[in-house]
Structure formats: C-alpha cells, structure tokens
Structure 1
Amino acid sequence: MLKKPPGWNPPLPLPTSPQLYCNSTYFTDVASLSPPLQATFNKPFYSTIDISPAFNSSPSDPATMADSTNAPKPSSSVKLVLLGEAAVGKSSLVLRFVNNDFQENKEPTIGAAFLTQKCNLPTRTIKFEIWDTAGQERFASLAPMYYRNAQAALVVYDLTKPTSLIKAKHWVAELQRQASPGIVIALVGNKLDLTGDSSSAAGADGEEGDDSGDARKVPTEEAQAYAEEESLLFFETSAKSGHNVTEVFTAIANAIPETSLKSARGAGASNAASRGSEEQRVNLGGPKDAGAKDSCAC
C-alpha cells in the first residue's frame, strides 16, 4: 500500500449542490466540505447583480438604443415661382405662408419679390425659395427668367374673375412647354372668402369675408376638371383668412420628385438664398417706381 506523502490531502468530492454565481448555476457538495470551507461557501462573497438584460435586450429596443430622433433631417432647397394675372392675390398668398400676415390694398408687385420659408416634412425639411412675379402684362416676358430651373410653380387665378383662369391656363401651358421636366404645378383659386364658401374660409378671429353674397364666377368643378386633365395639384384658398394656404405648400413639398430634391440640395437662388426669410424686391420698373420698393405687393 502506498503511503500518503506528507502534506497530501484527498481531492474534494464532485459538486452536487446548486449554487448561484452571477446568475449562473454551478454545483458543489457543501456538506462534504470541512467546516471552514463550508463557512467560506456560505459567505456572500460573489456578486448577484442581474446583468442579463444587457445581453437579452433586442437591438431595436428603444430603451437600449440612443435616441435617433434627435438626428438632423436632410434639408433640400426648392425653387418655386408664382405666376398669374395681376391682382389675383399671389403676393398675399406668399405673405400669408411666410409671415402669417394679410394686408389690405397692397400695391402691385414691381418686377419680382423673393422670399424663403421652410416646410418641415416627417423625413426632411424643404426650404422654399419663392419668386413672386409681377402679374402685369409688361413683365410677362421676364417670367422665363424666374421659372427657369424651378422645381415647383403656383399658378393663381381669382375665383371671382373668369378671365384670370384663362390666363392661368396659358401659364400652365407655357410651363409644360418650357420649364424643367417634372416641375410640380399647383393650380390655385384664390379669394375664397368672397364666395358663398366663405364660411369655410373664416378668418383667424372667426369673422368671414366682407362680402356676404356669392361673388364666385369660376365653378370649382370646371377648374378641378382642368387640373385633373393636366395632372396639376388643385386648391381653393383664401389668403385673407389663411384657408388652405399652408396645405398648398405642404402638398407641393410632398410632390417634389426625390431626384429633383437631390439635385436641389445645397442649391440657392444665386446669392439670394443667404438673405433669410426677409422679403427682397427686384425693382424692374425704373426710377419712377422706386418709391414702391418698401411696400408689400398684392
């Protein structure tokens, strides 16, 4: 029989009793250990912090991911031009959209006015660079300079003036013929507050238009049928009350093709884009019209 060498002790028995260590189970036969070792195993010398959620959580779990909603949305610049007969309310529509303002008895636009305004969509921000053109016939030949490279156009007519719709159709035909391919065109009938539908276009203070009668001369069905035939966006608005004004620009922003947005990103209307949302006026009327430069157009 072999003699036990000095200092030799028999090995510990295989573990048989479950013990928890950092949420993992192992076995040890604590009862078979000597009292000092039993006391050691019974001491809470190990960590019991539950770290399993860090390994079991889904990568898409909002509680374990950084908030991605704070990431800035992509921004695109869109050149937009307003066209239409004089006194149909083009400038009033833009001023309502940009400044949420309406002013009575404004002087006509001389040449063009430039304004900017942002439109926040769920996936991106659209910065409209708006050219508000003069409606007088003497400035009609200058229109191509403003709608060149435009991604969108508002063609405005007066709901109380049938001849303004005829002029609007001429502008639509010219845009389809000469403007950029894929340009988004919205046909907008303005001055809804003067029609029998003025109850739906009440002002911000709840008041309706000044005229209680129905001054409408252009039926909705006629203009809408034309818009559908030409694949145009169609709205009837009131710049005075603000009815449908924001909706027009939001619909245009959503309708701009993605390819057009990519080509427009970072583009500006020459150096005018750096002028912010302040209105800038391009006076083409000569010195005799210089006094009108600080007035708002209608």
Structure 2
Amino acid sequence: MEAEKNFKVVLLGEGCVGKTSIVLRYIQNTFNDKHLMTQHAGFFQKNINMAGKRVCLTIWDTAGQERFHALGPIYYRGSQGALVVYDITDNDSFIKAKNWIKELKAMLGNDIVLCIIGNKCDLEKTRVISLEEAEAYAASVGAKHYSTSAKLNKGVEELFLDLSKRMLSKNTTSTPGASNSASTSNRSERIPIVPESTETKESCCSK
C-alpha cells in the first residue's frame, strides 16, 4: 500500500552539532561516537502509521561545513518540515541556527513546519544556551523547540512523532484525536547522494 501522505523534511545546522546522529538514532536506533562526515547531502526514508494513515518521511541530511552552505536552498526547496539543530554547549551553533531559520522563512514563508532542536542535552553541565532563551526564540519565529540527546536516545522519537503530527495537521483536515497514536514500519533506508568523506568526526560531533 502506498503512503497516503509524503513529507519532505530537511535537517539543517552547523557541522558537529549531531544532525546525522539524530536521524541515525531515529531510523536505525544506532549511535556511534565516530562516524563519517556528511558530504553535500543524503536522505533517509521512514514509513509511519499514524491512526490508520500511512505517512512516508523523506529526511534530507545536509552537510554543515561552511563550504556547503550555499547548497542549502537546493535541498530545502519543497520541504514541508525543517529540523534546525544546534549544540547546547556551542553558542556559535545557535547563532548559525538563527541564520538558517531566516533563510527558510525567506524562501518558504509560513508553509513549512519549523523545529529548533537543542542537541546534546546529556551535556547539561556545560550548557551555554539556556532553555528559556531557546524556547523564547523558537516562539518568536513560529517554531517549536525540542531538546534531544542522540547519544542517550532522549527526545528523538518524540521529536519526529510530533513533527509528523504537525505536518499532518497543516496539510490535512482530520477529526479530533486522529493522530494520537502512531507506529512505524520496519522499512527504512539510507541512500547517500554522493560518496562520504573518509574523515571521521570527533566524538563531540555525534552526541
């Protein structure tokens, strides 16, 4: 049976904030302290059954290195959802996340469901971006803030479930409570767009 709804989701943020680790935790339930650095982009697919509706998520994982920044519009054009990730221990990554949000809103307006993710919440003791500041900023741009730890598998499943509900709500007229339950199929895959680098990230990049 084909999916009733197909949603494109783009994953944005600076290098070393843990974007790939978040999606790998969600798709494969795996975590590696060291992994291959994303080059340009790759995408993952996941089928979700939500209260009788079959939803296919196509999640585009983009490279965070500065030299790939100009390619961003190529990947987020046509997206229904965006996950903008920052590292709670890195103020610069939060500033860069705001820049991504500005670009997304300039290109897609209010047509996209925005999520701002503070990753590495397992490193709470070295947090430099307060939760209050991040949540206030998210509210100011019409986004929702989430806290995750790909390393400890905290908040990841909930993030994608809530995103899917929000995209369904924006794109369909459903009866009250129609999306209160969900299950995922065992079909998921990662399809790299280009070969990845042989360089490995340090463990700080993956949490």
Per the normalisation by structure 2, the TM-score is 0.83
1:136 paired to 2:65: yes
Alignment partner for residue 11 of structure 2, among 78, 82, 89?
82
Instruction: Compute the displacement of 1:194 (Å).
Output: 1.2
1:224 aligned partner: 135
Q: Deviations over 1:259-285 (max 9, x none)?
A: 6469xxxxxxxxxxxxx6221112278
Q: Is the 8 A contact 1:151 1:260 kept in 2?
A: no
1:242 aligned partner: 153
> How many pairs does the alignment contain?
188
Instruction: Compute the displacement of 1:181 (Å).
Output: 4.3
Q: Is the 8 A contact 1:159 1:189 kept in 2?
A: yes
Q: Whole-Å Cα distance in 1 between the matches of residues 136 and 109 of structure 2?
A: 24
Q: Which amino acid aligns with 1:135?
A: G
Q: Is the 8 A contact 1:110 1:134 kept in 2?
A: yes
Q: Which amino acid aligns with 1:114?
A: F
1:35 aligned partner: none
Instruction: Compute the displacement of 1:241 (Å).
Output: 1.1
Alignment partner for residue 34 of structure 2, among 96, 101, 105?
105
Where 2:15 maps in the other structure, the secondary structure is coil
Q: Deviations over 1:124-155 (max 9, x none)?
A: 22211010000001111111111010000000
1:127 paired to 2:38: no
Q: Is the 8 A contact 2:3 2:56 kept in 1?
A: no
Q: Which amino acid aligns with 2:148?
A: T
Q: Which amino acid aligns with 1:236?
A: S
Moved more, 176-185 or 129-138: 176-185
Q: Which amino acid aligns with 1:113?
A: G
1:19 aligned partner: none
Alignment of 1:1-298 (within 5 A): 75-179=4-108, 181-195=110-124, 214-257=125-168, 260=171, 277-283=188-194, 289=197, 291=198, 298=206
Q: Which amino acid aligns with 2:115?
A: A
2:181 aligned partner: none
| Unmatched runs of 5 consecutive residues or more in structure 2 | 174-186, 200-204
Q: Deviations over 1:197-250 (max 9, x none)?
A: xxxxxxxxxxxxxxxxx1111100000000111111110100011111011111
Q: Is the 8 A contact 2:46 2:189 kept in 1?
A: no
Q: Cα distance 1:107–1:73, how it changes in 2: closer, same or farther (>3 A)?
A: closer
Q: Whole-Å Cα distance in 1 between the matches of residues 102 and 135 of structure 2?
A: 16
| Unmatched runs of 5 consecutive residues or more in structure 1 | 1-71, 196-213, 263-275
Moved more, 245-254 or 112-121: 112-121
Q: Whole-Å Cα distance in 2 between the matches of residues 111 and 178 of structure 1?
A: 20
Where 1:126 maps in the other structure, the secondary structure is strand
Q: Could you tell me the percent identity over the aligned residues?
A: 39
Return the index of the structure with the highest Cα Rg. Answer: 1
- C-alpha RMSD of the superposition: 2.3
Q: Which amino acid aligns with 1:145?
A: I
Q: Which runs of 4+ in 1 moved over 6 A?
A: none
Q: Whole-Å Cα distance in 2 between the matches of residues 114 and 73 of structure 1?
A: 19
Q: Which amino acid aligns with 2:119?
A: N
Q: Which amino acid aligns with 1:241?
A: L
Q: Whole-Å Cα distance in 2 between the matches of residues 148 and 221 of structure 1?
A: 30
1:266 aligned partner: none
